[in-house]
């Protein structure tokens, strides 16, 4: 996968955006969608994506990117308010070689809790949907 290939309409986040697979929604507006990562590196690992098809950071209009990063800031603040982690890590990967596995632009919001070991990127265990829904509701309520 190169950084400049064609957008794949069958990627998992495109399916989420079309409502074809279940997910735990945190927030939605005309530009972005935020939801819980199904294989969290840490509890409450949240993803923020643009609605517009974009493979990575180089494939999005600056105006849309502004909406995404503003969303990341807003949702991170809600994660902080809802769960009081010690810190929050924000990550974003471009291209397979960099570790990107889903080719629709996304930012990871990963809270760091002192007593919990964070899983490595791509090594999280699948979470129970009811747990994700509960976390999403708490973050949403803190927005």
Q: What is the closest distance, in whole angstroms, from the C-beta atom of residue 39 to ligand 5GP in the complex?
A: 3
Phi-psi region at 19: left, alpha or beta (left = phi > 0; alpha = psi -120 to 50)? left
Q: What is the closest distance, in whole angstroms, from the C-beta atom of residue 108 to ligand 5GP in the complex?
A: 6
Catalytic residue among 45, 104, 106, 108: 106
Helix and strand numbers, DSSP H then E, in the chain: 3, 5
Which residues are at the interface with ligand 5GP (CB under 6 A)? 12, 23, 35-39, 93, 99-102, 122, 124
Q: What is the closest distance, in whole angstroms, from the C-beta atom of residue 118 to ligand 5GP in the complex?
A: 12
> How many of the other CB atoms lie within 10 Å of CB of 4?
10
Annotation says 31 is catalytic:
no
Crossing angle of helices 129-141/62-83, nearest 10°? 100
| Comparison of 24 and 63: residue with beta carbon closer to ligand 5GP | 24
Catalytic annotation, residues: 106
């Amino acid at each position: 996968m190169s950084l400049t290939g064609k957008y794949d309409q069958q990627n998992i986040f495109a399916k989420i955006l079309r409502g074809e697979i279940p997910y735990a929604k945190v927030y939605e507006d005309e530009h972005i969608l935020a939801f819980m990562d199904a294989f969290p590196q840490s509890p409450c690992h949240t993803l923020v994506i643009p609605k517009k098809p974009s493979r990575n950071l180089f494939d999005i209009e600056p105006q849309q990117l502004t909406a995404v990063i503003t969303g990341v800031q807003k949702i991170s603040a809600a994660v902080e308010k809802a769960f009081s982690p010690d810190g929050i890590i924000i990550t974003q990967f471009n291209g397979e070689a960099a570790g990107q596995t889903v080719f629709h632009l996304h930012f990871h919001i990963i809270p760091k809790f002192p007593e919990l070991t964070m899983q490595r990127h791509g090594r999280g265990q699948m979470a129970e949907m009811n747990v994700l829904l509960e976390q999403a509701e708490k973050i949403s309520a803190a927005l």
